[in-house]
Amino acid sequence: MCFFLDMGFGHSKFVLFFVLVGTIFSMYHQFERIIADLNDVKSKSHEVPRMHNNMKALQDTVDEMKKKLSESEVELQQLRFEIDLYKKDMTGLIDFAYGGRIISIGDTETYETEGLGMLGFRICGQGNLEKRILERSVMPGDCWPFKGHEGSAVIELIDEIIVTNVSLEHASKDLLTNDSITSAPHEFSLWGLFDESEKETSSSHHFGQFVYNLSGPEVQTFAVENPSPTPFKTVEFKIHSNSGHPNLTCVYRVRVHGHLSGTR
């Protein structure tokens, strides 16, 4: 600063020059700070694009996890649902055929012979095999086997009910040989009998015709196609075709669902 005093400038010039020089040096001084700051900021912002990419990747990871988590939750609910159904006879519905009895099988011809070779199971026991369609076990062989692919069973339910659904269950395919899988029923129908002796006369009610799908689950539940406001105590379960077996059809379990007249 002492230089300026010797320079012979006038007072105003001195002031001006002093201001300029001061400005310059002050700027220069700030410059250093700015550059330091800028370097600091640069080094920090240098990370921004990398962070941006990292965050993009993280976002993708999170999105993917979110999808998987959501799928897990759905599967978890499905498992919960299935586990609970194990305690609820696999359907969660009252089976009014369980504890009921078979009144008649008409002219359906039950297989009585033991040791059905090539079936992958043996039909045990003799007599009244048809009652098995109301029993719980669906282990291979614990079924009602009859000749051909057409059969019928008149079932007395445990109560007079408004019929809403019918379930057909077959043994697990994994426990049956290829040949015996084809003995599963295919098309079947359910009828309400106004009088148990009538059996599908004009006075019976046709609840509907259904198809058991071999590639579906073991227990398949169907809503009746033609509901009736009349409660029935006796129903007829008719099999019209099987899943391909040339001379045998096996029925494991039939459930009839609904509710007592006046309830629900």
Q: What sign results for the dihedral spanned by CA atoms 186, 190, 195, 200? A: negative
61 burial level (CB within 10 Å; 0-12, 13-18, 19+): exposed
Between 20 and 223, whose beta carbon lies closer to its own copies?
A: 20
Minimum distance from residue 261 beta carbon to its own copies (Å):
10
Between 124 and 223, whose beta carbon lies closer to its own copies?
A: 124
Please report, for residues 27, 197, 218, the alpha-carbon distance to residue 154 in angstroms, rounded to integers and kept in the order given: 106, 9, 23
Minimum distance from residue 4 beta carbon to its own copies (Å):
8
Choose which of 102, 105, 119, 163 interacts with its own copies (CB under 8 A): 119
- Residues 78-117 close enough to bind its own copies by CB under 8 A: 79-80, 82-83, 86-89, 92-96, 98-100, 115, 117
Structure tokens at 56: 């993009």
Position 220, amino acid = Q
Between 80 and 147, whose beta carbon lies closer to its own copies?
A: 80
Between 202 and 215, whose beta carbon lies closer to its own copies?
A: 215
Between 131 and 226, whose beta carbon lies closer to its own copies?
A: 131
- Residues 176-215 close enough to bind its own copies by CB under 8 A: 176-179
Between 131 and 147, whose beta carbon lies closer to its own copies?
A: 131
Q: In whole angstroms, what is the distance from residue 159 CA to residue 259 CA?
A: 9
Contact 134, 253 (CB under 8 A): yes
Between 4 and 147, whose beta carbon lies closer to its own copies?
A: 4
Contact 175, 139 (CB under 8 A): yes
Q: In whole angstroms, what is the distance from residue 32 CA to residue 18 CA?
A: 21
Site string for its own copies, 219-258 (x = CB under 8 A): ----------------------------------------
Transcribe 197-209 into DSSP letters. Answer: TT-SSTTSEEEEE
Could you say whether residue 47 binds its own copies (CB under 8 A)?
A: yes
- Residues 13-42 close enough to bind its own copies by CB under 8 A: 13, 16, 20-21, 23-24, 27-28, 30-31, 34-35, 37-38, 40-42
The residue range among 9-17, 145-153, 192-200, 224-232 that interacts with its own copies, by the rule CB under 8 A, is 9-17
Secondary structure (3-state) at 175: helix
- Looking up tokens 């049956």 gives 176
Q: In whole angstroms, what is the distance from residue 153 CA to residue 222 CA?
A: 18
Choose which of 29, 122, 131, 147 interacts with its own copies (CB under 8 A): 122
Q: In whole angstroms, what is the distance from residue 54 CA to residue 14 CA?
A: 58
